[in-house]
Amino acid sequence: MFLALLSYVGIIVGFVFLTLAIAAGLYYLSELVEEHSRFTKRLLEKLIYGIIGTHILLLIFDHFPFWLTLFSIGTQVVYYQNLKQFPFIQLSSGVFIASCVLVLLNHYFWFQHFSRPSIPPPTLRSSPLYEPPSVFPSFSEVSSFFGICVWLVPFSLFVSLSAGDNVLPSTVESTNGFGAGMGGAEGAGTATLRKGQGMAKVVIGKVREGVAEVARVIGWGDDPRSGGGRIV
């Protein structure tokens, strides 16, 4: 009995550590994207092209359904529209909303396809040339398809894109050579740049703030009004 209870505790602890590891990885990836936005954009473009090519190969060699494959290719085209103003995106834009809807529809349609294999009509099954499928896709094949062809691009966009509401201004100093020629001294100017926070980074930050607030309310955190002392 106690061993079973201990196993439940171990599962919970393992799930918490796995969640923290995923959050830390997403945060680190978001930091890399902010520093290398041009390279990330080119990588996402190549990734979308590669997945479209993969859909075409699956259609030709594995006889995937034509209309569902065409729908998935159209979904990738919509994802590509988010790269026009990369890495910034307006959460209220039609392209972003359409991308969110298409992610769910694409997943649902392919899940229905793999969970209920299509049965040929009786006329085709009665044909002497008909050969029933001997091998259905394995779990590893289905999960690999979903991970690469269905979820990889939306997940990459989620990590890479910066919401327009989370664009932070930053100021850098610049040297004005014209001022030096006129007055014999260098004139200093300022230029305002736009630096975006990745959506994944923003979400993780909000969750961390919420957890800290809950911990403060229940007495597990430090009260900032008491100089770092614990809440009593």
Encoded tokens for 34 = 């902010």
pLDDT digits 0-9 by tens, 23-62: 788 778 877 877 888 888 899 999 999 999 999 999 998 8
Question: Is the CB of residue 196 less than 8 Å from the CB of residue 203?
Answer: no
Peptide bond into 65 cis (omega under 30): no
Q: What is the pTM of this model?
A: 0.67
Least confident of 45-54, 119-128, 136-145: 119-128
In the block, tokens 């997940």 appear at 155
**Amino acid in position 78:** V
Q: Are 230 and 223 in contact (CB under 8 A)?
A: yes
Per-residue pLDDT reduced to its tens digit, 79-110:
999 888 877 777 788 998 999 999 999 999 99
Residue with tokens 């075409």: 56
**How, if at all, do strands 88-89 and 187-198 pair?**
unpaired
